[in-house]
């Protein structure tokens, strides 16, 4: 299955909000905290731009107002165009002033995540990782552990999004596996596998570049994420 990937930063955001529809503008105005507003705005912008590029729609503000992200009963994002469900699956993540959106054909189970590489203590690993994952971390060189732990955590986030469960269920119900021999081959997408405790197996990809780890998990099994080409709009 083909999946596509788009990243945007705060530098890509226009200064105005004329790309939001009236309901979205009201929702944004009700957010009390500046960081929450900034993250939501960047995430919505990235999702709208992703949808417009994937569906071959115009990228002007009028067209973007017709694209809307609504939460499903599970909380997972669902895409609508001109008020009707769009034939796509999407997943959104943001961290460190970067937002990412993955998109695939409708009906696919899809989750993506971006995480900042930072130290996490042994308690975090013990609380959230499976026994196999804990062994993987403990056997890695100490200097590699922050990146490894971040990668495993990000893949869990992506898998739980694809399962439409999020962090409502135990993160130890998914077990992440990948080939450690590719660990230091940066910037390339590398395959991973996630086994769910209910017996389901999901396939995905991971990438580490700079201080960020990116992951994508999907069903049916996806090929490596393809970059979406978009035209930068003037602000």
pLDDT at 193 over 80: yes
pLDDT > 90: what percent of the chain? 85
Q: Any idea where the domains of the chain sit in the sequence?
A: 4-108+223-227, 116-206
Who wins on pLDDT, 183 or 142? 142
Mean of pLDDT values over 157-162? 96
Token readout for 48 is 């709208």
Q: Is the pLDDT of residue 233 over 70?
A: no
Q: Average pLDDT for residues 4-11, to the nearest whole number? A: 96
Best CA proximity match to 155, nearest among 136, 184, 175, 169: 175
Question: What is the predicted pLDDT for the residue at 199?
Answer: 81
Give the pTM. 0.93
Summarize pLDDT for 21-69 with one digit per residue, the tens.
999 999 999 999 999 999 999 999 999 999 999 999 999 999 999 999 9
For the stretch 213-229, pLDDT in tens is: 999 999 999 999 999 98
Q: What is the pLDDT of residues 78-136, one digit of tens each?
A: 999 999 999 999 999 999 999 999 999 999 999 999 999 999 988 999 999 999 999 99
Q: What is the pLDDT of residue 169?
A: 85
Both ends of the chain: CA-CA distance in Å? Answer: 35
pLDDT of residue 185: 57
Q: What is the mean pLDDT of the chain?
A: 92
Task: Give pLDDT, residue 188.
Answer: 87
pLDDT value at residue 200 = 87
- 189 vs 199, which has greater pLDDT? 189
Give me the residue label for tokens 């042994």.
Answer: 122
CATH fold, domain 4-108+223-227, is Ribosomal Protein L22; Chain A (3.90.470)
Pairing state of beta strands 212-219 and 226-227? unpaired
What does the pLDDT read at residue 108?
96
- pLDDT for 198: 74
The pLDDT, as a whole number, for residue 235 is 45
């Amino acid at each position: 299955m083909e999946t596509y990937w788009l990243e945007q930063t705060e530098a890509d955001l226009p200064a105005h909000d004329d790309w939001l529809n009236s309901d979205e503008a009201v929702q944004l105005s009700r957010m009390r905290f500046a960081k929450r507003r900034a993250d939501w705005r960047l995430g919505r912008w990235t999702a709208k731009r992703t949808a417009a590029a994937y569906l071959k729609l115009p990228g002007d503000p009028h067209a973007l107002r017709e694209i809307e992200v609504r939460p499903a009963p599970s909380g997972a994002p669902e895409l609508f165009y001109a008020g009707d469900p769009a034939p796509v699956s999407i997943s959104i993540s943001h961290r460190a002033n970067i937002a990412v959106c993955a998109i695939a054909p409708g009906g696919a189970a899809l989750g993506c995540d971006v995480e900042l590489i930072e130290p996490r203590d042994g308690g975090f690993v013990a609380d959230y990782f499976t026994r196999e994952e804990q062994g993987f971390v403990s056997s890695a060189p100490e200097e590699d552990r922050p990146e490894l732990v971040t990668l495993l955590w990000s893949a869990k986030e992506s898998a739980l999004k694809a399962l439409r469960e999020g962090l409502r269920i135990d993160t130890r119900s998914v077990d992440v596996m990948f080939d450690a021999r590719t660990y230091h081959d940066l910037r390339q997408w590398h395959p991973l596998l996630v086994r769910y405790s209910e017996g389901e197996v999901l396939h995905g990809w991971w990438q580490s570049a700079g201080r960020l780890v990116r992951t994508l998990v999907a069903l049916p099994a996806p090929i490596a994420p393809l970059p979406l080409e978009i035209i930068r709009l003037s602000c």
